[in-house]
A and B are shown apart, each in its own frame.
Chain A
């Protein structure tokens, strides 16, 4: 297969090296001339010392016959444009973009990039596996009193899911008063049935937190206890 790698940073360099070792045809585009020469010294004359965002150079590097274009520069906007040019202008069957800002993933997919690799998302993913997400969030302490406003993020496994607010046992002095569902906040009524994904806003004394956690998050979840 012929793979065009745009961006000769660490990712582009090791990618090209591995691909060459598995006997694929590779061209690396790196606009920084010194860096391009350095890569060429190490992996051979497969480096084009030009900007892979520039249409002309993309064409010169053989983009039109590439099976895969991998855009792995450090800039999201460059990676997006490289993939779109490859796909729509050069009819490349498969495009892969490195995305740094996780927020751009949906946009890139929507705009036709075939595959998205997000180092940020991957690292975030493995961190979140190790650390329980903060299910109870302290929003505010009220005046000098012991009362706090707390947000609970209801997830699968919460005993409150599928129950009406009136049926959720509340610790003494605590009450649920609002829910944020799909980004919209609404006041709770006793009849409101709680769902997965709801962010429930509760008010109550600080010492009821453990009990509140059991009712809204579930007892078997490890209590982070802040």
Chain B
């Protein structure tokens, strides 16, 4: 599988290393080249310096036809936007956005993104370890709604065309 990871922090780097070792085609992006120091010397995937919310950077990195897209930077909003570029511009369906703000996490799960929320995950883990029961929060919150939430804005035709034209140009 072709797996794109935006953000070479601890989690991003470990996932990149793991999937690369398992034989997947891994592309990892970060705005800082130093972040790639976290990758092991034997990493065979592609490490690209670039902004994961920028369509051009993603295209250059070869992310457009990825099977899996993971946005794991420190910025919740950057992750949201990167995932929305991946789904809306490239049609990648298997995307996960790290969103540590639980309110935003729930809202974007409603809007059709799979979400990884450290806050709810850690709350759940601590509560379970202490034997205080489960809050019933999954590790990755699966999307509960579809993108755009069935909203009234459907000028999709022209904007999608504009997007496609932008890609070619």
Contact = CB atoms under 8 A, between A and B. Distances in A.
Interface string B139-169: 0000000001101010110011011011011
B156 A110 contact: yes
B159 A106 contact: yes
A53 B149 contact: no
Interface stretch (A54-62, A188-196, A206-214): A54-62
A76 interface: yes
A107 B159 CA distance: 7
A183 B168 contact: yes
A184 B162 CA distance: 15
A89 B163 contact: no
Contacts of A101: 54
A80 B159 contact: no
Contact of B163 (A59, A107, A184): A107
A55 B100 CA distance: 11
A89 B78 contact: no
Contacts of A22: none
Contacts of A59: 103
Interface in A26-79: 53-56, 58-59, 75-78
Contacts of A53: 76-77, 101, 104
- Interface centre among A58, A75, A81, A183, by most chain B C-beta atoms within 10 angstroms, is A81
Contact of B76 (A56, A81, A111, A114): A81
A81 B102 CA distance: 14
A2 B63 CA distance: 42
Given A56-B103, A106-B162, A78 B77 contact: yes
B166 A77 contact: no
B103 A112 contact: no
B166 A103 contact: yes
Contact of B81 (A56, A81, A88): A81
Given A55-B107, A78-B77, A103 B56 contact: yes
Contacts of B159: 106-107, 109-110
A198 to B, nearest CB: 14
A111 B84 contact: yes
Contacts of B110: 88-89
A154 interface: no
Contacts of B148: 111-112
A81 B149 CA distance: 15
B89 interface: yes
A59 B110 CA distance: 17
Interface of B: 53-56, 75-78, 80-81, 84-85, 88-89, 101-104, 106-108, 110-111, 148-149, 151, 153, 155-156, 159-160, 162-163, 165-166, 168-169
Interface of A: 53-56, 58-59, 75-78, 80-81, 84-85, 87-89, 101, 103, 106-107, 109-112, 114, 182-184
Given A81-B80, A111-B148, A183-B165, 16 more contacts: A55-B106, A55-B107, A75-B77, A80-B81, A88-B107, A88-B149, A89-B107, A106-B163, A106-B166, A107-B89, A109-B153, A110-B155, A110-B159, A111-B84, A114-B153, A183-B168
